[in-house]
Amino acid sequence: MTVMLLTEMAPPPGAQEVAGLRARARTARRGALVALSASIALLTTVQVLADRASTREQTLPLAVLSLAVFAAALPALAITQYVWGVRARRVRRRERELYADARSGASRPLTRLAFACCWAVTLLLGWTVPRFFRQAAHYAFADVLSRAAEALSLISVAAGVLFLLWWARDAVGTVARALRSGGSPGDPWDPGRGARPREGAVLWTGAAMAVAALLGARAHLWEPAVGVVYALLTVALVCGVVTDE
């Protein structure tokens, strides 16, 4: 009965705006997840195939493709995650204006740490690109890439240290806010997490498992056939693209 009365009542001022902001933030989050899973899956697949190339002629195009994927992945990850962060901050700011509190962000530190780990995996994969050019007998270009990878590694380590310091401060603040307040009163006019289809979570789980399997193949933890590698890549891409949250 309470639910029926709530749905029949007119939403309070700003509720529809907040619902729209939340929808945009969810769309941005989906874009960031798609870019992340696709980047790692593509980069890992190309490098697995390059590792298995038997001749220099077969290795060279895969080495070039690996470099191209890595070069495209870095700005794609940065842009999509920046857009997600901007839209998420807009939601929290508007929630505080309307409800004097924002939705509980208890999972936000874990999400940020998970994305940071994925960034580290992507960078580690990118730092192995010079080796493929060396296997293709392009030694001069491999040396140039090695020097660039060394510079990028120093920048990445510095950025990682700064991130950990910021993340620890933010995590402590999130826990303190959660203990101090009872959380957001919620919004009955926003469908919320429970009303969204569960198929999305299943598909994201499938994409994550496919990416993890490809990473295991790249680390030589197992040796799948080439057809299995392509199948895992297809699962990772399809599950991410067709997911509609």
Mean pLDDT, range 84-107, rounded to an integer: 80
Closest CA to 125 of 137, 113, 136, 117: 117
Query: Which has more confidence, 150 or 182?
Result: 150
Summarize pLDDT for 9-50 with one digit per residue, the tens. Answer: 556 667 788 888 888 999 999 999 999 999 999 999 999 999
Instruction: Give the model's pLDDT for residue 148.
Output: 94
What are the structural domain ranges in the chain? 14-193
Q: How far apart are CA 21 and CA 97, in angstroms?
A: 14
Residue 179 pLDDT exceeds 70 = no
Q: How far apart are CA 25 and CA 196, in angstroms?
A: 14
Local confidence band at 54 (pLDDT 50, 70, 90 cut-offs): confident
Instruction: Give the model's pLDDT for residue 181.
Output: 59
- Name all contacts of 141-147 with Cβ < 8 Å and 24+ positions apart: 145/67
Query: Which has more confidence, 164 or 188?
Result: 164
Weakest-pLDDT range from 32-36, 97-101, 156-160? 97-101
Residues whose CB is less than 8 angstroms from the CB of residue 38 and which lie 6 or more positions away in sequence, other chains included: 236, 237, 240
Residue 206 pLDDT exceeds 80 = yes
Instruction: Give the model's pLDDT for residue 70.
Output: 97
pTM of the model: 0.86
Summarize pLDDT for 66-78 with one digit per residue, the tens. Answer: 999 999 999 999 9
Instruction: Give the model's pLDDT for residue 171.
Output: 83
Instruction: Give the model's pLDDT for residue 193.
Output: 47
String of b and e for 104-130 (b: at least 16 CB within 10 Å)? ebeeebeebeebeebbebbbebbbbbb
What is the gyration radius of the CA atoms in the chain, in angstroms?
Answer: 22
Residue 186 pLDDT exceeds 60 = no
Q: How far apart are CA 123 and CA 165, in angstroms?
A: 20
Mean pLDDT, range 222-226, rounded to an integer: 94
Mean pLDDT, range 173-196, rounded to an integer: 58
Residue 1 pLDDT exceeds 50 = no
Percentage above 70 pLDDT, the chain: 81
Residue 234 pLDDT exceeds 80 = yes
